[in-house]
Amino acid sequence: MSPHAAPPVAILGTGSCVPDRVMSNAEVGAPAGVDDAWIVRKTGIRERRWAAPDQATSDLATSAARRALEAAGITADQLSAVVVGTSTPDHQQPATAAFVHQNLGGSRTAVSVFDVNSVCAGFMSALEAAHALVARTGGYALAIGADTYSRILNPADRRSVILFGDGAGAVVVGPADAGGGIRTSAFHIHSGLTGLIRVPAGGSRRPYDPAAHDAGLQYFTMDGRAVREFFMSTVPGLTKQFLHDSEVLPSDIAHVVPHQANGLMLDEMAPTLDLPRATVHRTVHECGNTGAASVPLTLDRAARSGALRRGDLVLLLGMGGGMSISFTLVEW
């Protein structure tokens, strides 16, 4: 658990962005040998958005960040930190967050700018980092989750190409003005299962070279059945433990914003969380699994729809490769 000292830190604004290009199930399914009916039956996904050839992760992240800043009523010059959760950065270096800061046009240079990679749970790590920085030094910070998985998908792999969309979500965190705020967070890692989700080539263990390309090692790979079994068997118990440790009753939770891994998995998981009053928010049916973007993107849509009311307890649930599971409890 990671409680933070006073003054309390709150989410002051949210924003999100998805590309204009809509990819239907027919389009992504054809190269993989599956059709719309099969994809809907297996995933609940009906479409997703893929980035244009000239769009990078930082472009989507910047658009989401601008909307979050506008919602919070602050400018880029007021930021003391920009943290991007992504596993599909613009480049191996420098950090994608540096490009976001550049794109936002802030003139202030005394800003902490960096990326974190917890795969699909990356936003949760970014939010925790931003929260800690603001709690320690004050000011305002951007926490962003952004991914362009379309760049690393094997078009013939029906286990993965049908699942993923591109997008970004962002929040501005800063001093809570009147009650509420981020209450607490918890993080778990099951590092013995690192092989379940990975991109084999492109790092120091296996550099990307012609041999790796010929073997298709540049593509995202996932043991979907094992991943699903792991999360289904692990998340419910950890959720109960997190609420107990947070001294919150399950009936106190008004909203759950989970990682949008798979629509059918969310259908199966939701009842096992035993949160009798909670609305489980979803974007997976129209956006697919947007990686680190899925939690903040879904949170932004819930916020802008008016579903989240002052005082509501919101449970953010991250699930990602590694294998990682993370929770953040927010009083809206």
Would you please indicate which residues are annotated as catalytic (active-site) residues? 120, 259, 289
CB atoms within 10 A of CB 77: 11
The partner residues of 316 in beta bridges, in order of sequence, read 257, 328
Q: Are 299 and 259 in contact (CB under 8 A)?
A: no
Distance CA 216, CA 214 (A): 6
Distance CA 152, CA 162 (A): 13
Structure tokens at 115: 């990326």
The partner residues of 204 in beta bridges, in order of sequence, read none
Structure tokens at 116: 């974190």
Q: Are 297 and 315 in contact (CB under 8 A)?
A: no
User: Is it true that the peptide bond before 200 is cis, omega within 30 degrees of 0?
Assistant: no
Which regions of the chain does DSSP assign to beta strands (E)?
9-17, 22-24, 47-49, 79-85, 112-116, 140-147, 167-175, 181-189, 197-198, 221-222, 253-258, 279-280, 313-320, 324-331
Query: Which long-range CB contacts under 8 A does 198-201 form with residues at least 24 apart?
Result: 198/222, 198/321, 199/87, 199/152
Sequence length of the chain is 332
First to last CA, the chain: 20
Residue written as token pair 């960096």: 114
CA atoms 100, 102, 108, 111: torsion sign: positive
